[in-house]
Amino acid sequence: MARIPTLTDEGRASVGAAVAAVETQTAGEVVTIVTQQSDDYAEIALLWSALVAFLALAVLALFPDFYLGIYDRLTGGWVQQWHPRGVFAVALVVAVLKFAGMWLLQLWRPLRLCLVPGPIKHERVRARAIMCFKVGAERRTHGRTGILIYLSMAERRAEIVADEAIASKVAPEVWGEAMASMLAHIREGHVAEGMVAAIGKVGEVLAEHFPLGEGDTNELPDRLIEV
């Protein structure tokens, strides 16, 4: 798996400056959040470990003589005759070792993420983005014009979540260009540039539908938030 790109202090500052610049043209309030990973996918790791243990038992059932022969050689041939209790004991040991081995392998984050199906990653990133939006931006502006640009680094996925005033005027598909601009930069390891590009595209849409009004104040932080 490719190396996860990182953010520099200069990059963080450029994201905050881009948000501040956009908000001089619109009443919309842009919030940016970057997280290293949206979920630990522990239950997916458990499922893979259980599947590997089950497959090991299935192979043992299909080729018992082969594996029991290996066990006999490892024990010096002391077992002359196999009884059900001994067979089940071997099966238990094999299942436990396979389960534990697969679990330990998945402690390496790149492998664990690689084994998570894409739709599940998308669902978890979206859920985390919505949770962050509810905590940090939803209904926190006078006109309910907050919008969140959320990036999950490990999954290489991004989400844009808008408050109800924006969502009522702008269809979710409109943000596709902003997402594409962001991810194109991030694939090349340029996280800050990707965020800045997305902020610019979002700002263009917000300025069209929510132009800056007289007496408008900055209600949400401009700085990049890392969680």
pLDDT tens, residue by residue, 6-64: 788 899 999 999 999 999 899 888 999 999 999 999 999 999 999 999 998 898 888 77
* DSSP SS3 for 147: strand
Averaged pLDDT, 199-220: 85
**pTM (global) more than 0.75:** yes
Ordered structural domains, the chain, with CATH? 9-39+118-226 (3.10.310.50), 42-114 (no CATH)
* Rg (the chain; Cα; Å): 26
Indicate the pLDDT class of residue 3, thresholds 50, 70 and 90: low
Distance CA 227, CA 104 (A): 26
Helices (H) and strands (E) in the chain, counts: 9, 4
Q: Which residues are within 8 A (CB) of 73 and not within 5 positions of it... i.e. 6 or more apart?
A: none
Across 80-91, b (16+ Cβ under 10 Å) vs e yields eeeeeeebeebb
Per residue in 94-150, pLDDT (tens digit) is: 899 999 999 999 999 999 999 999 999 999 999 999 999 888 776 777 778 889 999
Distance CA 225, CA 35 (A): 9
Indicate the pLDDT class of residue 164, thresholds 50, 70 and 90: confident
